[in-house]
Amino acid sequence: MKVGIVGATGYGGLELIRFLHNHKAVERIDLFTSSEEGVIFSSKFGHLVHIADTPLQKIDYGALEKFDVVFTSTPSGVTSELLPPLVGKGPKLIDLSGDFRLKDPASYEAWYGKKAAPLEVIQQSVYGLTEWNAEHVQQASLIANPGCYPTAVLLSLLPLLKEQLIDPSFLVIDAKSGISGAGNKPSQTTHFSEANESFSIYKTNTHQHIPEIEQAISMFAGVETTISFNTHLVPMSRGILSTSYAPVMPGVTEKRLVSCLQNTYEKHPFVRIVTDANSLGTNHVKGSNYCDILVKVDSRTNRATIVGVIDNLVKGAAGQAIQNMNVQFDLPQTTGLDVVPFFI
């Protein structure tokens, strides 16, 4: 399998390289960028010396068409223009940006503040939440790989919403992310001395992943809801943990919620249902494609606390993208992704 990566210099791109390097079906990886043509990749990223000593290539449709898969890991607003001419041309397209996730172009333009991709292309794209959409993923020409927050939130909430075990009318989702989620471009917010040893909230009530989550809840659980959703910056590099709160439906027990999750994900290798909160934390999934989920019912309030934990760069980006690729090429989902979390 020949793979092209557009936007290789971003953290999503680097993680793609990290996993594809050990993917037995991948024989060649080419790296593309909008600038720095000809630069030897490992001269920019010392950790890749001996691993990716190839030159960055100019983005070129002729070249891209020849790959089996093209991953695009670019800022929003890039692939909406770049990818449409490639759809259906040969390579499977897996887009890690937000450009094809929202089915409603108006919604995209409102939340992202950028021009949406052409409607017909958006309609062809398939939302790549692998555990919930593998059938469509397999057939898709263009996959909209889910956002990092939505992945943690949806995997933990969808089963309970779909089986109507929790009440969608008061759903509060409080999410926290490591700083790599902000990408590789330096800014005051991500400047070490100011980000280190500080915890903060950002984009209060206005994060662009809100419509993505609501759309997927509608799509996969058949429930229309308006969520409270906030995001926080944790002084660490990797990891997302989302804590969600929802009233439990009458008569539903904690045990029932746990079984619902266990049954849903029984055959899914990357989702683990955790029952001991002490075994839950972002370090338990670090570097891996796992999503760990915990649910507890607070008997005082009769509300459920549902926690989803992922590595934002893996299950929340590159790992899930490769999982989707595996589905498309009829490989076991774990191919190239069967790694042990880092822990320390």
Cα–Cα distance, 271 to 308 (Å, whole number): 10
Shortest separation between residue 159's beta carbon and its own copies, angstroms: 18
Residues 308 to 327 in contact with its own copies, rule: CB under 8 A: 313
Alpha helices in 266-336 (DSSP H): 319-328
| Residue 209-228 contact track with its own copies, rule CB under 8 A, x = bound | -x---------------xxx
Find all residues with CB under 8 Å of 168, minimum gap 6, and list them.
Answer: 161, 217, 223, 224, 225, 246
Binding residue (CB under 8 A) for its own copies from 123, 138, 164, 200:
200
**Nearest approach, Cβ of residue 326 and its own copies (Å):** 16
Q: Which is nearer to its own copies, 93 or 223 (CB)?
A: 223
- Print the binding letters for residues 34-63 with its own copies: x by CB under 8 A, - otherwise: ---------x-xxxxxxx------------
Span from 56-64, 70-78, 288-296, 315-323 in contact with its own copies (CB under 8 A):
288-296
Between the alpha carbon of residue 326 and those of residues 25, 26, 138, the distances in Å are: 9, 11, 9
From 67-75, 125-133, 151-159, 292-300, give the range in contact with its own copies by CB under 8 A: 292-300
Place of tokens 């057939």: 139
**Which range in 96-104, 117-125, 133-141, 184-192 contacts its own copies by CB under 8 A?**
184-192
Angle value at C-alpha 133, between 127 and 136, nearest 5 degrees: 80
Q: Which of residues 149-178 bind its own copies (CB under 8 A)?
A: 170, 172, 174, 176, 178
Window of 25-33, 113-121, 137-145, 197-205 that interacts with its own copies by CB under 8 A: 197-205
Q: Looking at residues 7 to 26 of the shown chain, list those that interact with its own copies (rule: CB under 8 A).
A: 11, 14, 17-18, 21-22
- Residue with tokens 């790992």, as numbered in its chain: 319
The active-site residue out of 148, 161, 233, 313 is: 148
Strand partners, 292: 272, 309
Structure tokens, 301: 């309030």
Distance in angstroms (rounded) separating the CA atoms of residues 258 and 286:
23
Q: Which helix (H) or strand (E) covers residue 262, if one does?
A: helix 254-265
| Cross-strand pairs, 257 | none
Task: Give catalytic residues, as residue numbers.
Answer: 148
